[in-house]
Structures are given as C-alpha cells and as structure tokens.
Homo-oligomer: A and B are copies of this chain.
Amino acid sequence: MRKITFLFAVLFITIAVHAQQALWGGSQIVSPEINNDNTVTFRLLAPNAQTVQITGDFLPTRKMKTPYGDFDVPGTENLTKNDKGIWEFKSNILSSELYSYNFIVNGVKVLDPSNVYMNRDVNTVTNIFIIKGIPGDLYSVNNVKHGSVTRLWYYSQTVNKARRLTVYTPAGYNDGNKMYPVLYLLHGMGGDEEAWMALGRMSEVLDNLIAQGKAQPMIVVMTNGNITQDAAPGESALGLTQPNMQLPKTMNGEFEEAFPEVIKFIDSHFRTISDKADRAICGLSMGGFHSKFISAQYPDMFDYVGLFSAAMLPNNGVTSEVYKNADNKVKVQFSKKPKLYWIGIGKTDFLYKYNVEYRKFLDDNKFKYTYMETEGGHIWRNWRIYLTEFAQKLFK
C-alpha cells in the first residue's frame, strides 16, 4: 500500500498547494459547523485581517434607505479573532431552513473558503448551508429515489434560435413507458433556466415530495424566460460574460407568445400526458407575471396556475397582443373552470399591494383561488415554500 499512500499524499499536495492552504502544521478550518443545538459556528483563518464580519439571511435584518423606499437587508455581525488567527462567530439557534451568507474581510465581501457550496443569484454568489428539520429536509438530497435532470436545447421558430431548457423527469421515468403530467416552472427577473434548480432546490423538493407520496410523479420544465437570452450565463455563445440584471424584452409579451412551441417541443420529446388536466404553470415574480398572462392567453392549456410573489403590475405602454383585454381573458379562463388558481406572497413583499388589487379583481368576479400569505418579502425562502405547497396540489 506504500505506493498508493504516496499517490494520495502527492495528489493531496497538488490540490492543496493550488488552494494556498496552510498545509504544514496549519489547522484545518471547519466552517460552517452546525452544532447539535442548531447554532452554527463560522470560522475564517485570517491572521492579518483587521476586521472580519458575517452577513447572512439568518441574522436579524436591518433597514436600508434607498430612493425607492426602505428595504430590509441582511444584518451584519463581527467575528472575533483567537490567538491562532482564526476568526469565529456563533449564531443563535436557527430554525430549519436553507440559509446563505458571506464574510466581509477588511470591507471586502468574500466567500467562505472552507465551504464549497454556493448559490449564484443573478450576479451575486453566496455560501449556503441547511439546518435539518422542516423545511430544510425537503431541500436536502435524501436517501430516496431520484429523478433525472437534463439540460437540452430546443429550436425556437419564433425567435429563430436554439434556446436552453432544464428538464426534471421523476424517478421511474427511465424505466418504463408511463406518461406523466408536466409542470412548467418559471423564474424571475435576472434568473434563468438554472434558478429553480440552484436557488429553488427544485429537484430535491420534488424527489422528496414524490418519495413521501405527497406529490404525483411529474415532469418539471424550466425555461429561460428572457427571450433575448439563449441560455443561462456561461452556457451561451456570450461566453463567460458577467450576468446582467437588466435584460431587454423580458416583459414585452414575446416570451408568452412563444410559449406554445416550448410545450410542443416537450410533448414531442418526453412522455407527457398532453392535455389541460395534466399541465400546470407557475412562476415567481416576473415568472408569476408570465404565468398569469400565458395561462389567460391560452385558457385551454393549463388546469393549474401558480402565481408566486407575482409581478402583478399594470402594463402601461406595452403593446403586445398578450396583454390586451387582460381582464376579459382572465374571465374567459375562469369560465373554463381551472382546477387550481394559486396565489402566494410575503407580507412585506414590495409587490404585495399589486397582489391585493389583483385579488380584489378576482374576488369581485367571484373567481375561486387558493391564497397563501407568508412572512418576509421577495425572497427565495418564500418561493421554495410556495413550490412545496403548489406541487402537492397538482394532478390529483
């Protein structure tokens, strides 16, 4: 075994020296360490830093004033340095969730070098960790049967180019000839076909709900809702250009108009049950806006509609056919009795008031919908909860 050990040692060195780790005599830093009582200890080896702070969504928020109003932003805490140059902070007891954080070293926001797990949200990267329990276990890979996830390209005749899709097929799909219902799951502004996978923990949520018998096995299709974008950042011919929040034409009707060709592609390339009763659409923020207009424009297409923190805004100045006579289209949609029209929003969401207005319109017309109101604002924590709730009500 001597030679094998040699290989281990040398490969370990090869990795470690590239990592600039304190290899010889240096201690191995564990961070984050989730303690038995669900406090979490964060550590950073930084003997020469003057200040190290942590910011994350598990800390009490603080108010930030902006020209557009006051915003709740994650708070900040100081780490304390010990005599070995290791900075440390221990959190309060945390309830079960998927949390994100960054360190701030001498004023520079950095990722935790001891934690390889991170999420990109548009152009921001944070480290993540999960506290066990409910809902954290739903967001975790458990010892259950897993679905498959495929990244593939379809050709859009509407915009005359190939566009990327992320498609989840449930456990069992690869081992039979069964046909499945389909959920179309749309992202928000700045997002892409990877957002629900990474930030929404979509495949974990569906794997777990299906394994527990709480959701029907279904195909889940994640499109790229930015019609001018072929694919997520890094996955298109734009190369490794940095993500841009303000993409053009995201809410001008083109994506909604082109949506039937996505359904056509999915129906011809996957074993779907291709009817209204076995098709759902939902989305967050801009994706909720898209879901509202797509489902109203094509009222025979979806029996299940989910609007998560939806951007229920007036469409002043946008001339697309999709947005014309919007109220009438919703009336036609409800006359065809969709099985579920689901709305969820956080109490402090900046879009809350627009959802109140839209619900008033639905109420005034006696249109039946299911409503969920949660704490917090326009955040992924809520969208994971909404997906979990919505998915359990589908195709039953």
Size bracket of the A interface: 35 or more
Q: Does A17 contact B (CB under 8 A)?
A: yes
Please state if B123 and A318 are interface contacts (CB–CB under 8 Å). no
Please state if A13 and B46 are interface contacts (CB–CB under 8 Å). no
What's the minimum C-beta distance from A236 to chain B, rounded to whole angstroms?
6
Chain B minimum-CB-distance residue to A56: B18
Please state if B378 and A14 are interface contacts (CB–CB under 8 Å). yes
Given contacts A110-B110, A116-B123, A146-B162, A245 and B12 within 8 Å (CB-CB): yes
What's the minimum C-beta distance from A32 to chain B, rounded to whole angstroms?
9
Q: A320-357: which have CB < 8 Å to B?
A: 350
Chain B minimum-CB-distance residue to A161: B143
Chain B minimum-CB-distance residue to A48: B107
What's the minimum C-beta distance from A322 to chain B, rounded to whole angstroms?
14
Q: Does A71 contact B (CB under 8 A)?
A: yes
Q: Does A375 contact B (CB under 8 A)?
A: no
A109 — which chain B residues lie within 8 A by C-beta? Answer: 19-20, 113
1/0 contact string of A74-112 vs chain B (CB within 8 Å):
100000000000000000000000000010111111110
Q: How far is the CA of A333 from the CA of B379 in the complex (A)?
A: 58
Q: Which residues of A contact B (CB under 8 A)?
A: 1-4, 6-15, 17-21, 23-24, 30, 44-51, 55, 57, 64, 66-69, 71, 73-74, 102, 104-111, 113-118, 120-126, 128-130, 140-143, 145-146, 148-153, 162, 164, 171, 174, 188-190, 231, 233-237, 239-240, 242-243, 245-246, 251, 269, 285-286, 311, 313-318, 350, 377-378
Given contacts A4-B313, A11-B285, A124-B15, A47 and B107 within 8 Å (CB-CB): yes
A18 — which chain B residues lie within 8 A by C-beta? Answer: 57, 73-74, 121, 124, 126
Please state if B110 and A113 are interface contacts (CB–CB under 8 Å). yes
Given contacts A116-B123, A318-B1, A13 and B71 within 8 Å (CB-CB): yes
What's the minimum C-beta distance from A80 to chain B, rounded to whole angstroms?
16
Please state if A245 and B15 are interface contacts (CB–CB under 8 Å). yes
Please state if B68 and A10 are interface contacts (CB–CB under 8 Å). yes
Given contacts A45-B108, A146-B162, A314-B3, A152 and B174 within 8 Å (CB-CB): yes
Q: How far is the CA of A236 from the CA of B146 in the complex (A)?
A: 10
**Residue in B3, B14, B311 whose beta carbon sits within 8 Å of that of A71 in the complex:** B14
